[in-house]
Chain A
Amino acid sequence: MSVDVNGRTGARRAEPLGTTHLPDLDAGLDLPEQPRRAVRAVRSSDVFALAGSAVAAVALTALLTTVVLPTSGVVSMVLIWYVSFLGLYALLVSQDEQRTVVVDRIATVVLSTAGVILFGVLVFVLSYTVSRGSSALTHANFFSQDMKDAGPLQGLEVGGMIHAAIGTLEQISIALTLTVPLGLVTAVFLNEFPSRFSKFVRTIVEAMTALPSIVAGLFIYATFILMLGRPKSGLAAALALSVMMLPIVIRASDVVLRLVPGPLKEASYALGTSRWKTVWHVVLPTARSGLTTAVILGTARGIGETSPVLLTAGFSATVNANPLEGPQVSLPLAIFEFVRSPQPAMIQRGFGTAVTLLALVLLLFIAARIIGGRAPGQETARMKRRRKAESAKDAARMAARLGTPVGVLVLVGGIVAGLALAPSAPAKAADAFVPISGAGSTWSQNALDQWRRNVNQYGMQVNYQGTGSSDGRNQFRNGTVDFAVSEIPYGLKDGGVVDTPPTRGFAYMPIVAGGTSFMYNLKIGGQRVTNLRLSGDVIAGIFTGNITQWNDPKIKADNPGLALPARQIIPVVRSDGSGTTAQFATWMSKEHAQVWNNYCATAGRPTPCGVTSFFPVVSGSKFVAQAGSLGVSGFVSQAQNEGTITYVEYSYALATNFPVVKVLNSAGYYVEPTANSVAVGLEGARIDKNLTQDLTGVYRNRDPRTYPLSSYSYMIVPTATTSSFTTAKGYTLGAFASYFLCEGQQQAPTLGYSPLPLNLVQAAFKQVARIPGAKVAKNPYAKCNNPTFGPGGTNLLAKNAPYPAKCDKQGPTQCLNGTGGAKVPTANTGGAPDPGNGTPSGGPGGGSGTTAGPGGSGGGTATTGTGGAPGTPVGSGAGTGGTGTTPGGVGSAPVVGAAVDPETGLPAGTTLASGAPVAGQSVNVASGAVGGQTLLLLLAGLVLVGAVVVPPLVGQYLGRRA
């Protein structure tokens, strides 16, 4: 209806405008805009000077970087080039210009450089994102699927980001619905009703534009989620975005409205028009293009915001078209979550999602450019024509009185619903199940993620957000999730405060067992070490900053077969509240209380430190803190992060193809946290009445097959309904639990966990029965095929666990076979006797010496160390391939007698006892003398510099003489 009237208003407005004095003023102002004469021209000598000095600078850089300042860094080379370029250019220009002109030229170059750098970086950032994301973008499924079927190791042919795209669209739509009307009304208020009050409002609004977006998120988190007890949802995210966008929209609209020419309004008032009509027919149409631009740019800003959404939206891997309930991920948040995974496919998905987001922002941006960029009220001829046609059409349609807005809404709603329903159409048989969501432990997340993907086929939608056990327990207490997963129970004292249990009814239910492993990134001579073994004391020493070097004698004592490098140990710990940290801290406080308490004291914690979910880090130490299991394992697995070690569940090492430490148990064996050794270790666990665990017996289990840091992970389930936990949810949770307690356990070993034994499965099913609405089958464990279920309740997995190999016993020998996700054997570099059954031909050195220092006199010919290390180079025992007879032995693994510099851990020479090549990079420690090639380069450079600089100098000299 407004369009109809608008068209007429526009026409009417054009006439009075022509009769006022305004256009004359404009015409007068336009005069200086006439094309100005160019005051400078480009001469050929300028171009030559520029090009010449650029080329000469290349030569000079080559010279400097090879001879004077040896460096291979691209950044420093470019810097040197630039400085020399400026110098040479100044020199050349100064030959035929005055000082002021030289300064002008240099300034021009410098300013242009700034522009080139900025736009270069923009282009680079965009093209980098596109190139990294292109592999994901070429898969059509990336745009049509969500992540419900894609596991962490799944390739790009499955899974996509449609769930995030839907989330973003819905959240931004809600935010716009809230902010645009309110924002516009407020902007009109600020402009049309000037008073002391409106001035105050304007000041407050301007103040709020300074509100950091994360604080806006924190506000909604504290009010909407914590105080009102609503679960994280798309609505909460939209509210957070609204709080952030509202001041931006108001302020931008305010500025635009202020630009509406006063005479226009005055003319309207002069005609006797009311205030409302003036605003509606004059002010708003005049400022329309500016207002639209303001809104679009605000939208672009809101769409790209991550931090408010991070706190409020929750994370779901499946399409959730309902913004009112359940977690709903958005594009920026999905990017953030994708790239936390160290898996290449996930990172590609992250970049692919980033490209999608960029495309969306670009689209909005272009739209804003097309609409904006015109003065208020200015219209193209085409727009005028189109508007006339449209108003005619509108008038006809209005006459028919078909409620258009409703039609549009239906259309939009239909599209959204269609999008939402399309992927979930096959699951319509599962109407009995409702989506449930949980949060917590990343320790057991790999298992949970697998299980919830598996139950998708039954139509169950389970969302799980790995945010750390502390966060999971908090969210469960606040009622924002339906279940939590944690390694430790409520009620423990952490940092002097008791983690209070929730007031609602709840129960602990064991879900899976596993080993807290120590994943590391260490290389000797360019080859990955995969057989590191450590005793508890050493681990405690490393994670309390007492043992700082890999070649520490204590580590050497554990690893006679390794010539460990003099590299720093970088412990990587969890920065978030974590159950893994709590498990590790429990072990530390029980087994190494003194060291642990001393460390806590230096980190400023009250002692005795005891169990804590937050690893204490001394500020300024070498410790690196990362969030989540993915964070720490991802950090360790980066190639350049050599020397790092972290504590993380075994499955993360498997997933990243990295080795884990074999930990010394009470029986004197170094053991890897396989499903078997965890099962054996947990035979020593004492399970309390509420099913929580006391692990002291595990730490000290005398069985030689024990992995001492084994533990269970728990799900915390509600035993009473609340406003947000219904029996329908209980039914789904019960079905999900029944699945993973039974069939799900079969997959535990392949995932890097250990299945639950029968007694715990039985106890867990009793807890499932307590969930309101849950249905448990009569004999739920009959067909589970759980590998631990043996006759008469024995734990078959533990019973049949293989005994560790002899070489894994504490002593002078060391197994060479790999661990965790890195099964490649490691060369014996430390001079330890051959661990296999072959005759030790390594000589007398290794046999008795438990601490294998540089003692192994090997068959290797004498080599010289390049590092100038004081120690004599170690020739290793040139063993023949060990013929492993023990299970899990070395088999036919080649024993490479690599000579390794004990100081650096790098290959000392190329002569190898066995003749097998060792891939290693040589380190140029002492910069060598200038070689022939360098001399040539030097000469060439000098000639080039001369060729550029000398002619003008000579020319000038001659000119002066003439």
Chain B
Amino acid sequence: MSALSALSRGSRRRARVEPADAVFASVAHAGGILVLVVMTSVGLFLGYRALEALQIAKLHFVTEQLWEPDGGRFGIAGVLLGTISVGLVAITFALPLALGTSLFISEIAPRGLQRTLISLVDLMAAVPSVVYGLWGAFFLQSHVYGLSKLISQYLGWIPIFAIPGSNPDDPLDSATQYQSSIFIAGMVVALMITPIMTSVMREAFSQAPVGEREAALGLGATRWGMIRAVVLPFGRGGVIGGTMLGLGRALGETIAVYMILSVVVGIQPHILKSGGSTVSALIAQRYGDSTRVGVSALMAAGLALFLVTLVINFAAASVVARSRSGAEST
């Protein structure tokens, strides 16, 4: 009986096909236009407000490392370099980890375990960044001291690992010098971006053709030999794309960095040393107590960050897309 009523309703509807379709098309188009308007207005508004600050700072915006918007002296040299430093530290930790894990999941782990591991990686990506921040601020912060000290002790001759004014052999050397550093912030951010990198890479690796894998094995290659000869070349796009995607994420990360880093605006070349700044941490810290010019300056900084992540993301997307189409498989 329900079938009958539905049929009759259906036939009634068929009579109005044209208007329904027209409405549908216009709704869909309206949705698209609305989204376009919202998205572009975000960008345009950012740009418009940023322009206000850029007119004050002029070209110094790129070279100035201080952040005194009310004094007219502000620029992104310090914060953007800090952002990139955090991103690079994160990538340094995340790349080997993600590469290893993705190969482990796709090549080494027993078949029965694979699905679980993939789920775990996805779960890791879903863990809120504030939780990683908590872990970083309360656990890592106090436990990474030994590692930081070790690095500065033995690799201190490399400028970025040096801690000027600090003597690691002095038993009274202050531990605060090794805290709240770009290094620790980068480590925590690494945890956040590893899952996304892992899943992009794993997907690329799993698409390596079975025929070529078996051919390699059949020619007597070991598993590692097969990975080197088939899986890695095939997944190269995925590795590069995933890494860039991770870098894009790392640059935009706010809260975990803000919880760990002691925000001192300026170029911080010593990544192990306390203090540093990133664009997002600067915004989180200064948005409230800024004047109109200050907010504009923050918008300009945010826009600069957005442009950087935008370029990285698009590059990553195109690299991944090209690798998917099989261009790298030959």
Per-residue contact bits, chain A 334-377, to B (CB 8 Å; 1 contact, 0 not): 01100100000001001100100110011011000100000000
Chain B residues lying within 8 Å of A221, measured Cβ to Cβ, are 287, 295
Chain B residues lying within 8 Å of A110, measured Cβ to Cβ, are 100
Chain A residues lying within 8 Å of B58, measured Cβ to Cβ, are none
Per the bound structure, the CA–CA distance linking A74 and B295 in Å amounts to 45
Check A218/B101 contact, CB under 8 A, given A121-B191, A213-B254.
Answer: no
Per the bound structure, the CA–CA distance linking A904 and B171 in Å amounts to 8
Q: Which B residue sits closest to A922, measured CB to CB?
A: B171
A32 sits at the interface (CB 8 A): yes
- A279 near B24 with CB under 8 A, answer yes
Per-residue contact bits, chain B 63-79, to A (CB 8 Å; 1 contact, 0 not): 00110101111000010
- A576 near B289 with CB under 8 A, answer yes
CB distance from B290 to the nearest CB of A (A): 7
- A218 near B283 with CB under 8 A, answer yes
CB distance from A245 to the nearest CB of B (A): 12
Per the bound structure, the CA–CA distance linking A642 and B34 in Å amounts to 56
- B174 near A114 with CB under 8 A, answer no
B317 sits at the interface (CB 8 A): yes
Q: Please tell me which one of the listed residues B36, B290, B312 contacts residue A204 in the complex, with CB atoms under 8 A apart.
A: B36
Per the bound structure, the CA–CA distance linking A626 and B259 in Å amounts to 10
Chain B residues lying within 8 Å of A139, measured Cβ to Cβ, are none
B residues 106-154 near A (Cβ < 8 Å) are 107-109, 117, 119-124, 126-135, 137-139, 142-147, 149-150
Interface centre among A115, A468, A494, by most chain B C-beta atoms within 10 angstroms, is: A115
A861 sits at the interface (CB 8 A): no
B31 sits at the interface (CB 8 A): yes
B3 sits at the interface (CB 8 A): yes
Chain B residues lying within 8 Å of A369, measured Cβ to Cβ, are 119
Total A residues in contact with B, Cβ cutoff 8 Å: 147
- B255 near A565 with CB under 8 A, answer no
B241 sits at the interface (CB 8 A): no
Q: Please tell me which one of the listed residues A4, A125, A471, A494 contacts residue B2 in the complex, with CB atoms under 8 A apart.
A: A4
- B104 near A640 with CB under 8 A, answer no
Chain A residues lying within 8 Å of B144, measured Cβ to Cβ, are 75
Chain A residues lying within 8 Å of B327, measured Cβ to Cβ, are none
- B128 near A104 with CB under 8 A, answer no
- A219 near B46 with CB under 8 A, answer yes
Check A336/B130 contact, CB under 8 A, given A279-B24, A392-B2, A624-B176.
Answer: yes
- A204 near B40 with CB under 8 A, answer yes
- B259 near A336 with CB under 8 A, answer yes
Q: Please tell me which one of the listed residues A306, A494, A625 contacts residue B262 in the complex, with CB atoms under 8 A apart.
A: A625
Per-residue contact bits, chain A 245-258, to B (CB 8 Å; 1 contact, 0 not): 01100100000000
B180 sits at the interface (CB 8 A): yes
Per the bound structure, the CA–CA distance linking A192 and B135 in Å amounts to 45
Chain B residues lying within 8 Å of A640, measured Cβ to Cβ, are 142, 145, 175-176, 179
Per the bound structure, the CA–CA distance linking A310 and B144 in Å amounts to 28
B35 sits at the interface (CB 8 A): yes
Per the bound structure, the CA–CA distance linking A128 and B127 in Å amounts to 14
B32 sits at the interface (CB 8 A): yes
- B180 near A624 with CB under 8 A, answer yes
- A212 near B134 with CB under 8 A, answer no
Q: Please tell me which one of the listed residues A101, A112, A212, A275 contacts residue B25 in the complex, with CB atoms under 8 A apart.
A: A275
B323 sits at the interface (CB 8 A): no
A562 sits at the interface (CB 8 A): no
Per the bound structure, the CA–CA distance linking A110 and B108 in Å amounts to 11
Main secondary structure, interface of B, reads helix
Q: Which A residue sits closest to B296, measured CB to CB?
A: A222
- B305 near A332 with CB under 8 A, answer no
Per-residue contact bits, chain A 492-512, to B (CB 8 Å; 1 contact, 0 not): 001111010000000000000
Q: Which B residue sits closest to A496, measured CB to CB?
A: B71
Q: Which A residue sits closest to B252, measured CB to CB?
A: A212
Measuring CB to CB, which residues of chain A are less than 8 angstroms from any residue of chain B?
4-5, 8, 32, 39-40, 71, 73-76, 100-101, 103-104, 107-108, 110-115, 117-119, 121-122, 125-126, 128-129, 132, 182, 185-186, 188-190, 192-193, 197-198, 200-201, 204-216, 218-219, 221-223, 226, 243, 246-247, 250, 274-277, 279, 297, 300-301, 303-307, 310-311, 332, 335-336, 339, 347, 350-351, 354, 357-358, 361-362, 364-365, 369, 391-392, 395, 467-468, 470-471, 474-475, 494-497, 499, 565-568, 570, 575-577, 604-606, 613-614, 617-620, 622-627, 638, 640-644, 867, 904-906, 923, 925
Measuring CB to CB, which residues of chain B are less than 8 angstroms from any residue of chain A?
2-3, 5-6, 9-10, 13, 17-18, 20-21, 23-25, 27-32, 34-36, 38-40, 42-43, 45-46, 49, 65-66, 68, 70-73, 78, 96-101, 103-105, 107-109, 117, 119-124, 126-135, 137-139, 142-147, 149-150, 164-166, 171-177, 179-180, 191, 194, 198, 210, 217, 222-225, 227, 248, 251-252, 254-255, 258-259, 262-268, 270, 273-275, 279-280, 283-291, 293, 295, 298-299, 302-303, 305-306, 309-310, 312-314, 317
Q: What 18 new A-B contacts, CB under 8 Å, besides A193-B28, A306-B255?
A: A100-B222, A100-B224, A111-B107, A114-B103, A118-B97, A200-B36, A205-B39, A206-B314, A213-B254, A218-B298, A247-B39, A277-B20, A307-B284, A395-B2, A474-B290, A567-B172, A640-B175, A642-B174
A-B contact pairs, 28 of them (CB 8 A): A107-B227, A110-B100, A118-B198, A119-B117, A185-B32, A189-B29, A204-B35, A206-B313, A208-B42, A210-B309, A212-B254, A215-B283, A219-B42, A219-B45, A222-B45, A247-B39, A274-B21, A300-B126, A335-B130, A336-B130, A339-B259, A347-B138, A570-B177, A577-B288, A613-B289, A640-B179, A641-B175, A923-B171
